[in-house]
């Protein structure tokens, strides 16, 4: 063992430096502490950031089959790829998720035959009237 440490001292020193400098042990602990859905909720937000929590809570099979539309008023990328079924036809008009919306777009869509199904803070789920 002494010979191994003596021959590989610099490699072990570099490995130790990387572990300490990048907080690898702390990151492993935080990953093991939270489950997958909680980590996604922390990273993508509930009704802030990308709005993952609001979409996940309100999505069902009917919405997924219609290939819904997500509009985020903030400068964040869309999370539609987490829920989108690529084999289905696209119908953007049936369901619309509005994330970080300040009611300006909701009133415009309400006048265009959309009704509010769910509302949580600045997040809205709209469905087109039949």
- Give DSSP secondary structure letters for 41-91: HHHH-SSSTT-HHHHHHH--HHHHHTT-EEEESSS----GGGT--TTSPP-
Residues spanned by the domain of 108: 37-128
Does 41 lie in the same domain as 29?
Answer: no
Does 59 lie in the same domain as 95?
Answer: yes
Does 24 lie in the same domain as 79?
Answer: no
Phi and psi at residue 97, to the nearest 5°: -100, 125
Does 64 lie in the same domain as 88?
Answer: yes
Does 109 lie in the same domain as 78?
Answer: yes
Does 84 lie in the same domain as 99?
Answer: yes
pTM here is 0.69
Does 109 lie in the same domain as 76?
Answer: yes
pLDDT in tens, 69-127: 788 887 887 787 777 666 555 555 678 888 888 766 666 666 667 888 888 888 888 88
Domain tally for the chain? 2
| Closest C-alpha to 105, from 68, 73, 57 | 73
Does 69 lie in the same domain as 8?
Answer: no
Q: How many CB atoms lie within 10 A of CB 51?
A: 27
């Amino acid at each position: 063992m002494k010979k191994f440490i003596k021959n590989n001292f610099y490699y072990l020193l570099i490995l130790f430096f990387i572990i300490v400098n990048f907080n690898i042990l702390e990151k492993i602990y935080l990953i093991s502490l939270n489950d997958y859905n909680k980590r996604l909720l922390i990273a993508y937000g509930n009704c802030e950031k990308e709005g993952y929590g609001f979409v996940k809570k309100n999505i069902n099979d009917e919405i997924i089959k219609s290939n819904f539309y997500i509009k985020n008023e903030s400068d964040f990328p869309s999370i539609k790829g987490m829920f989108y079924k690529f084999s289905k036809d696209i119908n953007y008009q049936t369901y619309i998720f509005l994330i970080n919306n300040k009611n300006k777009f909701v009133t415009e869509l309400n006048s265009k035959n959309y009704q509010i199904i769910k509302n949580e803070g600045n997040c809205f789920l709209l469905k087109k009237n039949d």
